[in-house]
Structure 1
Amino acid sequence: MNFLTRATAYGLICLAWIIAVWLALEAGTSAYLWWTVNHNEYILVDRGLKSPPKDPGFPLPGAHPTRRTANLSAGWFDTQPMPGPDWAIPRLNEDEAAVEKRRVIFPSLSESDRHYFAALHNDLVCVFDRNGMITQRYGHWLREGHDNIETFFRNAKTSTETHYGEYHLTGGGFDLLMRIFFYASPADSKLYGFLNIESLLLDHFSHDLPESSPWEIPFFRYKKNLRDAYTGLGTHHVSTNHFGYRGADVSIPKPAGVFRIVCIGGSTTEEGEENATYPKLLENRLRSDFPGKAIEVVNCGVSGMTTVRHLLKLAEYLQFEPDLLIVYEGVNDICHELLVYWKYNRTFIQRLMEYSVFVENVLNRWMFPADEAIYHDLSSLTVAHIDVIRRAAAQAGVRTVVCGLASPDWPVLSRAERDYLDYRMRGFCAGKGHMTAHVYHHMAALLNSALKDLCRREKLLYIPVEEEITGGLYFFSDNCHLRPNGIARKAGVIADALRPYIEPALK
């Protein structure tokens, strides 16, 4: 047997062993996932196959002094209202003429103001030169199919003059008419295209809803004056006020002497029994801490909200005339926006690994960009949008407070808790990609780091909720939502941080 024959034989044997080991890993991972779904007590309770125990016996988590945040406090007077241009004021129910009038100002703005304008008004903006080439882009482009959106602009553009162009986005029974405004700027002879794709998508999804649906627009706005309506999410029911939010009705204009706080976020702000949401518990606590003071806390949390969608509702939040905004947001940006974006932009090798159950569940971190790239994307999406909210609120004389995202403390979790949280994560991200609970915890930590950097830079109060709500299923019902004791703990943490901060305003 010559050398080439022996080398070929050894190579085939090694390849066979590699394939055998890989198949064993795939089979072992699949078997383990099946076993956990059918034997993990937490999962069985979640599936309704087992009654929850009267005392689940979750261990009380301990403190984590290594996670303590330092030097991120702020005083009430550290952040002052700041003047701004008229185009930077969010407005309710703008008609087409008002939107056009605002957009034609865009070419005269500085580069930084152009980015702020596009983010604040949720516009995707493409700038065409005289040769019809796109030279600049502004707005939120961290989305699936971002490279195709430029094609929408090119196909809709029918002239070098000011006009409206149309493009139909179709496929899979989906037909969305995108109407793009093109403005020919006489100042620089460029053509500016404007598309608010998020508003078009929300309008599209609001059509043909069943009468029993609690949604006016799914995962954006509930119907007004609901009473114990089923949301379609687990066992969750909601009642809403005449603005479509949970809690008591809100008076507009705000009565004299009232200190009003507006809490914005997604399901992690909305969650809880009717009188046991964190905004309601926070209101009770602050009224107790400041007897005789008229303090209102408005719960503007809506399941499924992202920071992009909060910008669309910013004028709505500001109509409540708040003295303070509390932002607890980022979960849906990670799991519904960036997860899809990262999946869309995977390398060829990562796309091949999508077919591996072992890689997707055991080596899941391999399926995502490096930490530096993730931090950049989180800063460009979530943090940038929160900063836009902060800036627009400041122009209206409203201060903003930012909360860190709480997530289960992975190193201290039991194996059963980890398997349950992975199971819940698979359901939460279904249809968008796959992210394990461990990877999500890492993403949340990176986001909290970016939020702290924002608060240092802008001298905002940062409330480290993630440092005070630790451990596993004692406080958490899944990777981001809290049990009633966790919601109460969250309200207490925020109240403790706010007490010295708002005291000067209540004197």
Structure 2
Amino acid sequence: MNSNSKQPLVFLVLGMAGIVAAVVFNEWTIAAWLSYGGSLRLFDRVAIWMVDFILVGGGVMLIRKRRAIRMGKAEFLLLCGTLGILLVGSEGAARILDRAHGNDFLQNKQRAERGIIPFRMFGPDFYAMEDGMRYIVGRHGEKFPFEKKEGVFRIVAVGGSTTQNLVDGMHYPLRLQELLSEMYPGRTIEVINTGNSAYATPHLIVLLSLDVLSWDPDLIIASENINDLVAAYFPDFALDYSNKYTHETFLPQRSFTEALFGWSRLYWVIVSRMEALSYRMLEARDTVYTRRSYGNEPPPEAKAVFRRNWETFVDIARARDIPVILASQPLEPSEHYWNLHMRYKKYNTVAVYPLHEEFLLHHATFNATIKEVAHEKGVFFVDNAAVFAGERTLFSDFVHYTRAGIEELANQYATFIDRHHIINHEL
């Protein structure tokens, strides 16, 4: 810094930046990130206050002393080095706190770099090779031999995020496996979770045809509703849901900044907060999402396609004599719980939703379609929607489950399987 006349202005800007960083970035960005929508833990709160004190104190000092401070080349390099150390420390703290809160910053990078999966478009790789042997990998990392061993009763659970749904290390297929293993101690039970966020019935048909059939399942449990229903609210409805699944939300979108900084957890924290800021701006304009009246029935073409897809799914399984349980999808009916999940979808600028009471009727109609297909095709049906009955303690938002909800779901399936003697106690 050679021009002393400019230094007071520089320190004024730096001081204001420190205060803004404390009040806006640290208090809103970092605190909101750590809270994950809830209240901050005491340790996190104290740590953030300490950073606030340093940033605000440093900012005030720079502003008050801006005319007295003189910075030569050595001091300028020291300042740059200090800022570099702060960035490195912030990155390390972000990674440590992220892991402490049960997350993994690498998932953001992997998600950004995902490629198109043939036929399924997106989702996990369900296979792994170890010592020259192929294994099936469940949605949360559980491994199962590709070649089913003698005496094993293998169940495959398919669906969207409500099947994938993981809380405190537990998901319903894993809990179902535990329950059935207790109920049938003479049998080896496997329950493979293939659920994936945003999967609709076309994904399930492809997954069944190209993967699950080769796993030699003894039973398939299938439940999906909302992802199909939402496709009806995108413009220009298509029979294969391409009107929905060609949106950028579901396709790889890698930017230059992601390629450059995607390794950084701090980068992903900032990105998530910038997205949140954009949503807050939409809220200020009351344009988070759009609703209009569709009537009490879902669009007829969407309902017909939904029925067609479930009929196709069942026909494929029955052609191999594989028993199928179709299940309705439970729902917490309040608009508040709808907002917990749907309010901040990237595609809300495109989709036009029905009035809330109409949406509830549409969802119920799709559940009724699942029941009709099950009865017409002669397969099992579990009415989870009736059992859950909108009980709020079972839901984390309008369709996803709490730990208690996962337990309830697994219990329902275990009881149903036992009541209908789908598994023999002995071979």
Q: Is the 8 A contact 1:378 1:450 kept in 2?
A: no
Q: 1:388 aligns with which of 309, 312, 329?
A: 312
Confirm or deny that 1:400 pairs with 2:400. Answer: no
Question: Would you say the 8 A contact 2:325–2:380 is kept in 1?
Answer: yes
**1:250 touches 1:320 (CA, 8 Å); kept in 2?**
no
Q: What amino acid sits opposite 1:51 in the alignment?
A: S
Cα 1:487/1:46, change in 2 over 3 Å: farther
What per-residue deviation string (whole Å, max 9, x for no partner) do you get for residues 283-303 of structure 1?
111111111111111101111
CA contact (8 A) 2:152 2:190 kept: yes
Query: Any stretches of 5+ residues in structure 1 without a counterpart?
Result: 1-43, 55-208, 227-240, 345-355, 411-417
Distance in 1 (CA, whole Å) between partners of 2:306 and 2:40 is 36
Q: Give how far 1:309 is off.
A: 1.8
- 1:430 has 2:332 as partner: no
- Of the three residues 308, 311, 336, the one matched with 1:419 is 336
Q: Name structure 2 gaps, 5 residues minimum.
A: 1-31, 43-107, 129-134, 239-284
Q: Give the whole-Å Cα distance in 1 for the aligned partners of 2:170 and 2:237.
A: 37
Equivalents in 2 of 1:326, 1:491: separation in Å? Answer: 11
Cα deviations across residues 173-226 of structure 1 (Å, max 9, x unaligned)?
xxxxxxxxxxxxxxxxxxxxxxxxxxxxxxxxxxxx965647454773224689
Correspondences of 1:148-187 after superposition (within 5 Å): none
Q: Does structure 1 retain, via aligned residues, the 8 Å contact 2:159–2:199?
A: yes
Q: 1:53 to 1:458 in 2, by over 3 A?
A: farther
Measured in 1, the distance between the counterparts of 2:111 and 2:166 equals 22
In structure 2, what is the equivalent of residue 445 of structure 1? 364
Deviation for aligned residue 1:500: 1.9
Structure 1 residues 340 and 304: CA distance shift in structure 2, 3 A: same
Name which of 300, 309, 322 aligns with 2:194. Answer: 300
Q: 1:245 aligns with which of 125, 130, 139?
A: 139
Aligned equivalent of 1:331, options 226, 245, 249: 226
Aligned mates of 1:243, 1:49 — CA distance in 2: 31
Structure 1 counterpart of 2:39: 51
Q: Deviations along 1:101-132, whole A, 9 cap, x unmatched?
A: xxxxxxxxxxxxxxxxxxxxxxxxxxxxxxxx
Aligned to 2:376: 457
What is the distance in 2 between the residues matched to 1:331 and 1:210? 27
- From the superposition, tell whether residues 285 and 395 of structure 1 become closer, same or farther in structure 2 (CA, over 3 Å): same
Distance of 2:192 and 2:204 partners within structure 1: 15
Alpha-carbon distance between aligned partners in 2 of 1:280 and 1:498, rounded to the nearest angstrom: 15
Provide TM-score, normalisation by structure 1: 0.48
Asked if residue 220 in structure 1 is aligned to residue 122 in structure 2, the reply is yes
- Residues 242 and 262 of structure 1: is their aligned pair in 2 closer, same or farther, counting only changes over 3 Å? closer
Q: Quick check: which one's strand share is greater?
A: 1
Counterpart for residue 418 of structure 2: 499
Corresponding residue SS for 2:393: coil
- 1:277 partner letter: H
SS in 2 for 1:301: coil
Q: Is the 8 A contact 1:220 1:304 kept in 2?
A: no
**SS of the residue 2:311 aligns to:** helix
1:49 and 1:317, CA in 2 relative to 1: closer, same or farther beyond 3 A? closer
Provide the rounded CA distance (Å) in 1 between the counterparts of 2:391 and 2:422: 34
Q: 2:155 aligns with which of 252, 261, 264?
A: 261
Query: What TM-score, normalized by structure 2, do the two folds share?
Result: 0.56
Q: 1:407 to 1:340 in 2, by over 3 A?
A: same
What are the Cα deviations for residues 235-293 of structure 1, in whole angstroms up to 9, with x where unaligned?
xxxxxx75463242121221111111100011110111474101001111111111111
Contact 1:275–1:281 under 8 Å retained in 2: no
Contact 1:475 1:485 in 2 (8 A): yes
Deviations along 1:327-352, whole A, 9 cap, x unmatched?
111221112x21114779xxxxxxxx
Letter of the structure 2 residue corresponding to residue 385 of structure 1: N
SS state at 2:217 partner:
coil
The answer on whether the counterparts of 2:159 and 2:195 sit within 8 Å (CA) in structure 1 is yes
What is the identity, as a one-letter code, of the residue corresponding to 2:397? D
**1:404–1:365: structure 2 CA closer, same or farther, 3 Å change rule?**
farther
Between the aligned partners of 1:214 and 1:502, the Cα distance in structure 2 is 45
Amino acid at match of 1:318: L
**Partner SS for 1:383:** helix
Paired with 2:188 and 2:37, the residues of 1 have a C-alpha distance of: 47
Identity of aligned residues (%): 21
| Alignment CA distance shift 1:242-1:494 (3 Å) | closer
Greater helix share, structure number: 2
CA deviation string 1:149-176 (max 9, x = no partner): xxxxxxxxxxxxxxxxxxxxxxxxxxxx
Query: Residue in 2 aligned with 1:41?
Result: none
